[in-house]
Amino acid sequence: MGVTEDCYSSNWYRDQVKSVFTRDNQDYKLIAADDPSTELPVSFDPLNRQISYSAFEPKVYYWLLPARFLGDKVTSYGGNLVYSFRFVPTPGGQSSKNTAADVVIKSLNGIQLSHFSTAYIEPDRQMTITVPLTEEHWQREDGAFTDREHLLMALADLSDIMIKATYTTSTRQASLMSVTLETATDRNTGLNRAAEVEQCRCPEGYRGLSCEDCDAGYTRADYGLYLGICEPCNCNGHSSDCHPDTGVCFVSKGTVCFVMKSVYWKSSIAFSSQLSSN
């Protein structure tokens, strides 16, 4: 992802993170696009194996995927996000199609990308949409299409995957039947090879298939490629280890462990001296 060109196609196999609603709502949430902090109560329908909601205001709503779909999903590059859903417009009401993105992904590093489906979404019918996880299918917040590196950086630290639930300005009911996110693994799953997933020889300070993470003893700087470069922990000789993203130093003194930021070393050292004198 920009720190090395010493990469080659992996020999890994496709794997899947999957949800089918046979027992409960599996920690899925429903949120409004303009108020993501407010969650709506989702109903589990065991007969139809789906989750649903049916008291919408005239807003855009999204299904928010649970934690197992998030985190480092670099191996999803080149795979697909597949989901099945249904929506029912309000009968006899004034309703028009909304233009919001069909899928939105967000990462902890501040990247947000959107996918706009070209499929015709039929009301009151189960639809299955396949979203390729390659750069030509995703747009940045400024409307321009993203590039490979930008998408990989988003997939490296996913904080949210949002699938649109309401497709019209007035919706009576929305349901979600299944979601599958393709990933990759080094074991033979019986699925296709994940040839799009790269395997890189990382320079010092980096780790991960695409060198997307900082290695032990390194932390991410606030400059450089997208997320910043990885540089050695700055702990003034008191520790060689720190948090790979925040730079917070981990300092051990006997059986007591101190966690502190390097910018506060003076006060931290004074505090440590007081402990030593007690």
Domain residue ranges of the chain, discontinuous segments joined by +:
15-185, 233-277
**156 pLDDT above the threshold of 80:** yes
Given its phi and psi angles, is residue 27 left (phi above 0), alpha (psi -120 to 50 degrees) or beta?
A: left
65 vs 255: which has the higher pLDDT: 65
DSSP string, 212-230: -EEPTTEEE-SSSSTT--E
Q: Which pLDDT score, from 0 to 100, does residue 256 have?
A: 40
Q: Which pLDDT score, from 0 to 100, does residue 3 have?
A: 80
**175 pLDDT above the threshold of 90:** yes
Q: Which pLDDT score, from 0 to 100, does residue 221 have?
A: 83
Q: Which pLDDT score, from 0 to 100, does residue 93 have?
A: 56
**195 pLDDT above the threshold of 90:** yes
Domain 15-185: CATH superfamily is Galactose-binding domain-like (2.60.120.260)
Residue range 4-15: average pLDDT? 92
Burial class for 142, CB neighbours closer than 10 Å (0-12, 13-18, 19+): exposed
The DSSP letter of residue 37 is: E
**28 pLDDT above the threshold of 70:** yes
Residue type, 77: Y
Please give the span between the terminal C-alpha atoms of the chain, in angstroms, as a whole number: 50
Residue range 26-46: average pLDDT? 94
Residue range 12-18: average pLDDT? 97
**76 pLDDT above the threshold of 70:** yes
**27 pLDDT above the threshold of 90:** yes
Residue range 188-203: average pLDDT? 94
pLDDT tens readout for residues 225-257? 555 689 999 998 888 899 988 899 987 654 344
Residue range 114-139: average pLDDT? 96
Q: What are phi and psi of 277, to 5 degrees?
A: -85, -10
Residue range 45-61: average pLDDT? 94
